């Protein structure tokens, strides 16, 4: 598997309330061990050696830069704090912002800075520091997508401990957005000093070298007790090498190592497998605007032709769950009452006939090998839909070519996303008519209306009802075929306890980890 | 090795050169030659670097799209492109990069890190690994090659040559994976991967063993064959025949009469190996997680990061040039001494 910036960023940006869904998923065939649970009383002390994927040439020290490496993201997340962090339920929990309130129109949000929050050099964190950091983040080339709808001039301080953020439009999910990369550094930090800027996080930087780092406990952390004395982050270019290192006891945790490594380690009693459900979506995109899949009946037929169980078993080695074509499976508001689509070849053929779909032609399905399982999913899908009479040829493209030529433009291609705990996130990014990354070229007035209503509604119950309506439309006619959800998988040595089980961004929250004696 | 290179006074000399003239002329000649060769190689390196810039330019996508994020709009991308200077013609970027080269400035990566920072620990690490592998290769191939040469056409000779051919055909990753399985995961004797310490070098010496072996084994296969063939060629020379007829013991004939003449070919073989070792390092470093330039180069290509790719090329080119030059000097010294 090759790690890419996109996987990293979006997996990194992801959160995790998703546990909910899969927690009810029934018994797993293997115990996940105690790495993820809170078995016993945490012991203080010890150094945790964590392996994380990354490429030596893609290293960045800038907390507001584009973090392509898991290793960089992990190190930065342990040193610096974001305003909020992922949680289980609700999906957004306080961190540097201890509290937040919204105006009635959901445009003006006020974040209060946690009491006792200090930088590693002892200076208290002020609203000015947060404003500086948010503006710096907004000024990066990707700033507009990291803080969507928020202009730099609308980020202000009110007193010492309140930050006011005004959005261009009503946005009920703003606290969720500031979980992602809102790392806070001291006000006025110069670009050339950014790597040395003190953070406010649970660990302080001892040393950094070529993607490897040693971090020591911040005894003054406002966020609670940290058990470990230190965390050593080791950069790995390949998941195979990382798995070898864990098996040879050279590291204690192989972070986000993937299903292949988990299968390798299955026979080893001294290795714990931590599964983080709802980690990665790899849907197939069918272009709705024009082309052979523009007819909703054709898209429906493909959704009925896929064998979801087989996809999860073969592509994900069973480390995943079947999905139902609606993105945002980890959202507490995810609609579980939608009937689960299952394979129905007869119905699929009928729909294709009704739509006068040309089954004599061979269609091309574009994919990349950016993440493990993606190209395999395309190949298996092509085999499956052949039984419904649709001939598909899989075309693998090199990553850069794929994102340049196929993404957002192709008739049929695979994609992937790591932020799976928000239905609205996908709606706003990829499905609303004017969204910048409308992967399927989908335009649906009813969907747009439902979206605007949902995002502008403060009341949680009312909002959930509106989101249900939105998901029904997406289920019926969007350009996505979401067959399953991949688990995030970490491997850990037998002594490790208290690892996070949240998907996506949740995996970097290591402050609760400890080592049994 | 150097001790064996003392001029062979017993060797018949076709054009005897008086000692006095030799000491007066050789340094000048050598310097002049080194100078010409260096100049030629520098021009070659500049051409190569131009080729690198041109090739990266022709690859689909550029550093801005490759290092961008999924949410970036066309305007964001344009801004990033300008930030990275990609809006300027490739010739201009190449000229800027080249003018920084003599001052040791290798430019800035697409992610904003100084290229010299990216390479400052990675390159010495690769040199260390490659150096150990080259040394091991030289020792193993000389020892086995000579051993086989002492018993020409014997069972041992055939066995060594056969094994060498087989080993030479093994790709580095097969050797590497086998080594990890056997010497680490099954037996637990050696660490499976290289971890990096605070100073950026491997955390302990035993982490160097497996990667060095993975590089050495295929290269040794190649060099044993060269050593063996060079020795066989030289053994047919008249002065060797004279020595044998004089009744000198075989090992003395080998070390004093055959080996010196075979040295240029052996040195050239080892010099060629340097390039292959650096190339093999890309694969081996990935498998063993070794902190060298292999991984830097691989990710730089993915990122279309011309300054980084060119930086790695320039340094590797300099090293290979240096080694080839050494091999040339060995040849000059040997043939000069015999002329």
For every residue of B242-283, DSSP letters joined together read HHHHTT--HHHHIIIIIHHHHHHHHHHHHHHHHHHHHHHHHH
The nearest alpha carbon in chain A to B180 belongs to A244
Task: Quote the CA–CA distance of A204 and A214 in Å, as a whole number.
Answer: 9
Q: Which of chain A's residues have a Cβ under 8 Å away from the Cβ of B291?
A: 56, 210, 212
Confidence of residue A80 (pLDDT cuts 50, 70, 90): very high
Best of B65, B72, B74 to disrupt the A interface (most A CBs within 10 Å) is: B72
What is the predicted ipTM? 0.78
pLDDT of residue A133: 97
The nearest alpha carbon in chain B to A57 belongs to B296
Q: Where in chain A is the domain with CATH 3.40.190.10?
A: 1-79+201-272+493-517
The DSSP bridge partners found for residue A112 are A99, A162
CA-based radius of gyration for chain A: 23
The nearest alpha carbon in chain A to B72 belongs to A142
The nearest alpha carbon in chain B to A370 belongs to B302
The nearest alpha carbon in chain A to B287 belongs to A241
CB contact under 8 A, B287 and A59: no
Q: Write out residues 41-80 of B within 8 Å (CB-CB) of A.
A: 59-61, 65-73, 76-77, 79-80
Q: Write out residues 256-285 of A within 8 Å (CB-CB) of B.
A: none
Structure tokens at B161: 């040559």
Q: Write out residues 166-195 of A within 8 Å (CB-CB) of B.
A: none
Query: Is the separation of the CB atoms in A362 and A391 below 8 Å?
Result: yes
CB of A225 less than 8 A from some CB of B: no
pLDDT of residue A19: 28
Confidence of residue B15 (pLDDT cuts 50, 70, 90): very low
What mean pLDDT do residues A115-140 have? 96
List, in sequence order, the alpha helices (H) in chain B.
Answer: 19-58, 63-67, 74-83, 90-100, 115-150, 155-168, 172-179, 209-235, 238-245, 250-253, 259-288, 293-302, 306-338
Confidence of residue B168 (pLDDT cuts 50, 70, 90): confident
Query: Is the separation of the CB atoms in A7 and A282 below 8 Å?
Result: no
The DSSP bridge partners found for residue A124 are A118
The number of C-beta contacts closer than 8 angstroms across A and B is 162
Best of B121, B126, B289, B308 to disrupt the A interface (most A CBs within 10 Å) is: B289
Query: Is the separation of the CB atoms in B276 and B83 below 8 Å?
Result: no
Q: Which of chain B's residues have a Cβ under 8 Å away from the Cβ of A404?
A: 60-61, 65
CB contact under 8 A, A209 and B73: no
pLDDT at B11 exceeding the cut of 60? no
pLDDT of residue B10: 39
**Angle in degrees, CA B94, B100, B101, rounded to 5:** 90
Q: Angle A70-79/A5-13 helices, nearest 10 degrees?
A: 30
CA distance B279 to chain A (A): 17
Which residue is it, tokens 């004089």?
B246
The CB-side HSE value for B154 (13 A sphere, CA atoms) comes to: 10
Cα B272 to the center of its chain, rounded Å: 7
The nearest alpha carbon in chain A to B193 belongs to A245
Confidence of residue A6 (pLDDT cuts 50, 70, 90): very low
Between A66-75, A417-426, B6-15, B234-243, the lowest mean confidence (pLDDT) is in B6-15
CB contact under 8 A, B192 and A398: no
How do residues B241-289 score in pLDDT, each as one tens digit?
A: 888 888 888 888 888 888 888 888 999 999 889 888 888 888 899 889 9
CA distance B56 to chain A (A): 12
pLDDT of residue B337: 60
pTM: 0.83
**Angle in degrees, CA B106, B109, B113, rounded to 5:** 95
Run of H or E including A235? strand A230-236
Q: How many CB atoms lie within 10 A of CB B289?
A: 26
Best of A9, A50, A53, A57 to disrupt the B interface (most B CBs within 10 Å) is: A57
Task: Quote the CA–CA distance of A1 and B273 in Å, as a whole number.
Answer: 30
Q: How far is CA B72 from CA A113, A147, A436, B68, in A?
A: 30, 12, 8, 7
Q: Write out residues 202-261 of B within 8 Å (CB-CB) of A.
A: none
Q: Which of chain A's residues have a Cβ under 8 Å away from the Cβ of B298?
A: 55, 57, 237
How do residues B86-103 score in pLDDT, each as one tens digit?
A: 889 999 999 999 999 889
pLDDT of residue B338: 55
DSSP A327: S
3-state secondary structure of A504: helix
Strands A362-367 and A391-396, bridge-based pairing = parallel
Backbone angles phi, psi at A395, to 5 degrees: -115, 115
CB of A465 less than 8 A from some CB of B: no
- Nearest beta carbon to residue A238 from set B192, B286, B305: B286
The highest-level CATH class for domain A283-482 is alpha beta
Structure tokens at B26: 């050789």
CB of A436 less than 8 A from some CB of B: yes
Q: Write out residues 122-141 of A within 8 Å (CB-CB) of B.
A: 141
What mean pLDDT do residues A85-112 have? 92
pLDDT at A218 exceeding the cut of 80? yes
Structure tokens at A187: 């006000």
Backbone angles phi, psi at A294, to 5 degrees: -70, -25
Instruction: Indicate left, alpha or beta for A500 from its phi (over 0: left) and psi (-120 to 50: alpha).
Output: beta
What mean pLDDT do residues A470-494 have? 96
CB contact under 8 A, A57 and B191: no
CB contact under 8 A, A5 and B295: no
CA distance A451 to chain B (A): 19
pLDDT of residue A39: 65
Which residue is it, tokens 């040339």?
B328
Task: Quote the CA–CA distance of B45 and B74 in Å, as a whole number.
Answer: 36
The nearest alpha carbon in chain B to A139 belongs to B76
Percent of chain A with pLDDT over 70: 93
pLDDT at A351 exceeding the cut of 70? yes
CB of A150 less than 8 A from some CB of B: no
pLDDT of residue A34: 67
pLDDT at A391 exceeding the cut of 50? yes
CA distance A209 to chain B (A): 6
How do residues B207-218 score in pLDDT, each as one tens digit?
A: 999 999 999 999
The nearest alpha carbon in chain A to B288 belongs to A241
CB of B182 less than 8 A from some CB of A: no
3-state SS string for A72-94: HHHHHHHHCCCCEEECCCCCEEE
CA distance B79 to chain A (A): 7
- Nearest beta carbon to residue A57 from set B65, B83, B296: B296
Q: Which of chain B's residues have a Cβ under 8 Å away from the Cβ of A58?
A: 67, 111, 299, 303
CB contact under 8 A, A245 and B76: no
Q: Angle B209-235/B172-179 helices, nearest 10 degrees?
A: 130
CB of A234 less than 8 A from some CB of B: yes
Structure tokens at B6: 């003392």
Run of H or E including A400? helix A399-401
3-state secondary structure of A212: strand
Structure tokens at A4: 């890419």
For every residue of B122-138, DSSP letters joined together read HHHHHHHHHHHHHHHHH
CA distance B307 to chain A (A): 11
List, in sequence order, the alpha helices (H) in A120-238.
Answer: 127-138, 143-146, 174-177
CB contact under 8 A, B66 and A400: yes
pLDDT of residue A38: 59
Query: Is the separation of the CB atoms in B41 and B48 below 8 Å?
Result: no
Task: Quote the CA–CA distance of A306 and A329 in Å, as a whole number.
Answer: 19
CA distance B140 to chain A (A): 28
Query: Is the separation of the CB atoms in A243 and A251 below 8 Å?
Result: no
CB of A245 less than 8 A from some CB of B: yes
pLDDT at A295 exceeding the cut of 70? yes
pLDDT at B184 exceeding the cut of 60? yes
Which residue is it, tokens 């020595």?
B243
Confidence of residue A340 (pLDDT cuts 50, 70, 90): very high
CB contact under 8 A, A248 and B192: yes
CB contact under 8 A, B61 and A62: no
What mean pLDDT do residues A154-177 have? 93
Query: Is the separation of the CB atoms in A284 and A413 below 8 Å?
Result: yes
Report CA torsion sign: B183, B185, B186, B190: positive
Strands A162-167 and A203-209, bridge-based pairing = unpaired
Q: Which of chain A's residues have a Cβ under 8 Å away from the Cβ of B66?
A: 400
pLDDT of residue A29: 40
Percent of chain A with pLDDT over 90: 72
- Nearest beta carbon to residue B295 from set A237, A401, A429: A237
Question: In 3-state terms, chain A is what percent helix, strand and coil (to 5)?
Answer: 30, 20, 45
| Nearest Cα residue to B188 out of A244, A232, A271, A240 | A244
Q: Which CATH superfamily is domain A1-79+201-272+493-517 in?
A: Periplasmic binding protein-like II (3.40.190.10)
Q: Where in chain A is the domain with CATH 3.10.105.10?
A: 283-482
CB contact under 8 A, A142 and B286: no
Which residue is it, tokens 């606290």?
A175
What mean pLDDT do residues A369-384 have? 93
CB of A23 less than 8 A from some CB of B: no
């Amino acid at each position: 598997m090759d790690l890419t910036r996109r996987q990293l960023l979006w997996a990194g940006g992801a959160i995790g309330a998703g546990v909910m869904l899969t927690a009810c998923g029934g018994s797993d065939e293997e115990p996940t061990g105690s790495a993820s649970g809170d078995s016993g009383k945490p012991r203080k002390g010890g150094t945790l050696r964590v392996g994380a994927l990354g490429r030596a040439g893609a290293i960045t020290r800038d907390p507001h830069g584009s973090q392509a490496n898991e290793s960089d993201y992990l190190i930065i997340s342990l040193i610096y704090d974001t305003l909020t962090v992922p949680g289980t339920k609700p999906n957004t929990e306080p961190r540097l912002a201890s509290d937040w309130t919204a105006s009635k129109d959901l445009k003006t949000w006020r974040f209060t800075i946690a009491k006792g929050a200090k930088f590693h050099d002892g200076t208290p964190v002020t609203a000015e520091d947060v404003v500086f950091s948010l503006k710096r983040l907004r000024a990066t080339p990707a700033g507009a997508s990291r803080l969507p709808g928020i202009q730099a001039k609308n980020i202000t301080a009110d007193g010492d401990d309140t930050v006011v953020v005004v959005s261009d439009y009503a946005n009920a999910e703003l606290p969720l957005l500031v979980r992602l990369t809102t790392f806070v550094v001291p006000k006025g930090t110069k670009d050339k000093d950014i790597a040395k800027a003190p953070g406010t996080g649970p660990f302080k930087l001892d040393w950094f070298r070529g993607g490897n780092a040693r971090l020591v406990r911040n005894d003054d952390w406002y966020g609670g007790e940290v058990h470990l004395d230190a965390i050593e982050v080791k950069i790995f270019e390949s998941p195979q090498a990382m798995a070898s290192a864990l098996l040879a006891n050279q590291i204690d945790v192989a972070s986000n190592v993937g299903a292949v490594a988990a299968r390798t380690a299955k026979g080893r009693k001294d290795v714990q497998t931590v599964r983080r459900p709802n980690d990665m979506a790899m849907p197939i995109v069918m272009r709705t605007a024009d082309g052979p899949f523009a007819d909703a009946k054709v898209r429906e037929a493909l959704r009925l032709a896929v064998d979801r169980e087989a996809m999860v078993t073969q592509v994900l080695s069973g480390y995943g769950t079947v999905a139902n074509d609606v993105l945002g499976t980890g959202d507490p508001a995810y609609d579980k009452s939608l009937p689960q689509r299952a394979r129905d070849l007869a119905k699929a053929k009928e729909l294709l006939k009704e739509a006068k779909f040309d089954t004599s032609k061979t269609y091309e399905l574009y994919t990349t090998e950016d993440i493990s399982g993606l190209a395999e999913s395309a190949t298996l899908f092509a085999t499956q839909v052949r039984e419904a009479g649709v001939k598909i040829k899989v075309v693998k493209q090199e990553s850069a070519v794929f994102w340049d030529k196929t993404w957002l433009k192709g008739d049929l291609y695979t994609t992937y996303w790591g932020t799976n705990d928000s239905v609205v996130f996908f709606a706003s990014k990829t499905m609303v008519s004017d969204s910048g990354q409308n992967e399927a070229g989908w335009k649906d007035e009813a969907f747009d209306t439902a979206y605007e209503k949902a995002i502008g509604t403060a009341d949680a119950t009312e909002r959930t009802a509106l989101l249900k309506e939105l998901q029904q439309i997406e289920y019926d006619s969007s350009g996505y075929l979401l067959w399953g959800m991949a688990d995030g998988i970490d491997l850990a040595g037998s002594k490790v306890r208290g690892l996070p089980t949240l998907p996506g961004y949740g995996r970097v929250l290591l402050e609760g980890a400890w080592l049994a004696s | 090795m150097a001790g064996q290179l003392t001029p062979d006074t017993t060797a018949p000399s076709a054009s005897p050169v008086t000692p006095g003239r030799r000491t007066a002329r050789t340094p000048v000649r050598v310097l002049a030659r080194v100078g010409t060769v260096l100049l030629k190689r520098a021009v070659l390196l500049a051409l190569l670097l131009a080729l690198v810039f041109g090739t990266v330019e022709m690859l689909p996508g550029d550093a801005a799209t490759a290092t961008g994020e999924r949410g970036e709009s066309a305007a964001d991308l344009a801004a990033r492109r300008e930030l990275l200077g990609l809006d300027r013609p490739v010739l201009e970027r190449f000229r800027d990069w080249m003018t920084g080269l003599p001052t040791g400035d290798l430019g800035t990566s697409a992610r904003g890190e100084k290229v010299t920072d990216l390479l400052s620990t990675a390159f010495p690490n690769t040199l260390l690994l490659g150096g150990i592998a080259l040394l091991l290769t030289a020792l193993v191939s000389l020892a086995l090659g000579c051993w086989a040469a002492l018993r020409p056409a014997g069972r041992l000779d055939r066995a060594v040559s056969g094994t060498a051919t087989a080993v030479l055909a093994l790709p580095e990753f097969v050797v590497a994976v086998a080594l990890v399985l056997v010497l680490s995961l099954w037996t637990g004797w050696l660490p499976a991967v290289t971890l990096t310490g605070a100073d950026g070098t491997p955390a302990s010496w035993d982490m160097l063993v497996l990667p060095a072996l993975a590089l050495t084994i295929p290269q040794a296969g190649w060099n044993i064959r060269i050593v063996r063939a060079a020795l066989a060629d030289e053994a047919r020379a008249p002065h060797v025949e004279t020595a044998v007829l004089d009744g000198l013991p075989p090992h003395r004939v080998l070390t004093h009469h055959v080996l010196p003449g075979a040295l240029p070919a052996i040195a050239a073989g080892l010099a060629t190996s340097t390039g292959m070792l650096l190339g093999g390092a890309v694969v081996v470093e990935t498998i063993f997680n070794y902190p060298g330039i292999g991984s830097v180069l691989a990710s730089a290509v993915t990122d279309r990061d011309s300054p980084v790719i060119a930086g790695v090329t320039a340094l590797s080119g300099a090293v290979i040039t240096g080694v080839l030059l050494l091999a040339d000097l060995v040849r000059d010294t040997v043939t000069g001494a015999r002329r």
